[in-house]
Chains A and B, each alone.
Chain A
Amino acid sequence: MLYLVFTVYPLLRTFYNSLFVLPTVDVEQFVGLENFRLIFTSDSVIWPAVRHTLSWSVCSAFLEIPIAFLLALALYARVPGERVFRLAWFAPMLLSYVVVGPIWQWIYNYDWGPIDVALRFVGLGGVARPWLGNLSTALPALIVVTTWMFVGFNMVVFLAALHSLPGDVIEAAYIDGAGWWRTVGSIMVPLVWPTAAALTVLCVIGKMKQFALVYVMTQGGPLWSTETVATYVIKRAFQWKTVDLGYPSALATLWFLATLAATLLLGLLFQRRAQPESLT
Chain B
Amino acid sequence: MIPVSRPARYAIAGCLAVFTLLWTAPVLWMGMLSLRASDEFYKSPYGLPVPAHWDKFRIAWVEFGYQTYFRNSLIVSITAVLLLIAVGSMAAYFFARYKFPFKEPLYMMIFAAILLPPQVPILALFQMLVRYHLYNTLTGLILVYAASGLPVTLFLLRAFFAQIPLEIEEAARIEGATDWRMYWQVMFPIARPAVVAVVIINLVEFWNEFLYAVVLINQQASRTLPLGIMFFMGDREQDVGMIATGLVITILPVFVLYAMFSERITQSLVAGALGSS
Q: Do A and B come from one complex?
A: yes
Chain A residues with a Cβ under 8 A of chain B: 1-4, 6-7, 9-11, 13-18, 20-21, 23-24, 27, 71, 74-81, 84-99, 102-104, 106-107, 112, 114, 117, 148, 153, 156-157, 160, 167, 170-171, 174, 180, 183, 198, 201-202, 205, 208-209, 211-212, 215-216, 229-230, 233-234, 237-238, 245, 248-249, 252-253, 255-256, 259-260, 263
A88 in contact with B24 (CB, 8 Å): yes
| Residues of B222-243 whose CB lies within 8 A of A | 225-227, 229-230, 233, 240, 243
Number of A-B contacts (CB under 8 A): 250
| Residues of B90-136 whose CB lies within 8 A of A | 90-91, 93-94, 98, 100, 106, 109-110, 112-113, 115-128
Query: Contacts of A85 on B, CB cut-off 8 Å?
Result: 16-17, 20
Q: Is B176 an interface residue (CB 8 A)?
A: no
Q: Is B50 an interface residue (CB 8 A)?
A: no
- In angstroms, Cα B205 to Cα A114, docked, is 30
| Nearest neighbor of B89 in chain A, beta-carbon distance | A6
Q: List 9 A-B contacts (CB under 8 A).
A: A3-B91, A3-B94, A17-B124, A74-B12, A78-B4, A81-B16, A99-B208, A102-B243, A211-B210
9 closest A-B pairs by beta carbon, nearest first, are: A96-B208, A17-B121, A98-B226, A212-B210, A13-B147, A77-B4, A112-B45, A3-B94, A252-B120
1/0 per residue, CB under 8 A from A, across B74-98: the answer is: 0000000000001110110110001
Chain B residues with a Cβ under 8 A of chain A: 1-4, 8-10, 12-13, 15-17, 20, 23-27, 29-30, 42, 45-46, 86-88, 90-91, 93-94, 98, 100, 106, 109-110, 112-113, 115-128, 143, 146-148, 150-151, 179-180, 204, 207-211, 214-215, 225-227, 229-230, 233, 240, 243-244, 247, 250-251, 254-255, 258, 262, 265-266, 269-270, 273-274, 276-277
Which residue, B9, B247, B258, B276, has most C-beta atoms of chain A within 10 A? B247
B251 in contact with A6 (CB, 8 Å): no
A93 in contact with B10 (CB, 8 Å): no
State the main secondary structure of chain B at its contact with A.
Answer: helix
Task: Report the minimum CB–CB distance from A151 to chain B (whole Å).
Answer: 8
B124 in contact with A23 (CB, 8 Å): yes
Query: Contacts of A253 on B, CB cut-off 8 Å?
Result: 120
B230 in contact with A11 (CB, 8 Å): no
Task: Report the minimum CB–CB distance from A15 to chain B (whole Å).
Answer: 8
A180 in contact with B115 (CB, 8 Å): no
B20 in contact with A88 (CB, 8 Å): yes
User: In the complex where A77-B2, A88-B24 touch, is A18 in contact with B214 (Cβ < 8 A)?
Assistant: no
B210 in contact with A153 (CB, 8 Å): no
- In angstroms, Cα B147 to Cα A160, docked, is 31
Query: Contacts of B124 on A, CB cut-off 8 Å?
Result: 16-17, 20-21, 23-24, 249
- In angstroms, Cα B115 to Cα A31, docked, is 28
User: In the complex where A103-B247, A153-B270 touch, is A74 in contact with B27 (Cβ < 8 A)?
Assistant: no
B16 in contact with A170 (CB, 8 Å): no
Task: Report the minimum CB–CB distance from B93 to chain A (whole Å).
Answer: 7
Query: Contacts of A216 on B, CB cut-off 8 Å?
Result: 210, 230
- In angstroms, Cα B7 to Cα A103, docked, is 37
- In angstroms, Cα B131 to Cα A20, docked, is 15
- In angstroms, Cα B20 to Cα A99, docked, is 20
- In angstroms, Cα B240 to Cα A182, docked, is 50
Query: Contacts of A24 on B, CB cut-off 8 Å?
Result: 123-124, 127
- In angstroms, Cα B215 to Cα A18, docked, is 18
| Nearest neighbor of B232 in chain A, beta-carbon distance | A102
Query: Contacts of A153 on B, CB cut-off 8 Å?
Result: 269-270, 273
List 5 additional contacts besides A14-B110, A18-B120, A237-B123; criterion CB under 8 Å. Answer: A96-B209, A99-B229, A99-B251, A112-B42, A209-B119
Task: Report the minimum CB–CB distance from B265 to chain A (whole Å).
Answer: 7
Query: Contacts of B230 on A, CB cut-off 8 Å?
Result: 98, 216
| Nearest neighbor of A162 in chain B, beta-carbon distance | B1
Query: Contacts of A260 on B, CB cut-off 8 Å?
Result: 115
Query: Contacts of B110 on A, CB cut-off 8 Å?
Result: 10-11, 14
Task: Report the minimum CB–CB distance from B37 to chain A (whole Å).
Answer: 15
| Nearest neighbor of A178 in chain B, beta-carbon distance | B2
| Nearest neighbor of B17 in chain A, beta-carbon distance | A81
B118 in contact with A209 (CB, 8 Å): yes
Query: Contacts of B10 on A, CB cut-off 8 Å?
Result: 80
- Determine which of B94, B119, B148, B233 lies in contact with A233 in the assembled complex, contact meaning CB atoms within 8 Å: B119
- In angstroms, Cα B256 to Cα A91, docked, is 12
- Determine which of B98, B127, B270 lies in contact with A245 in the assembled complex, contact meaning CB atoms within 8 Å: B127
A171 in contact with B125 (CB, 8 Å): no
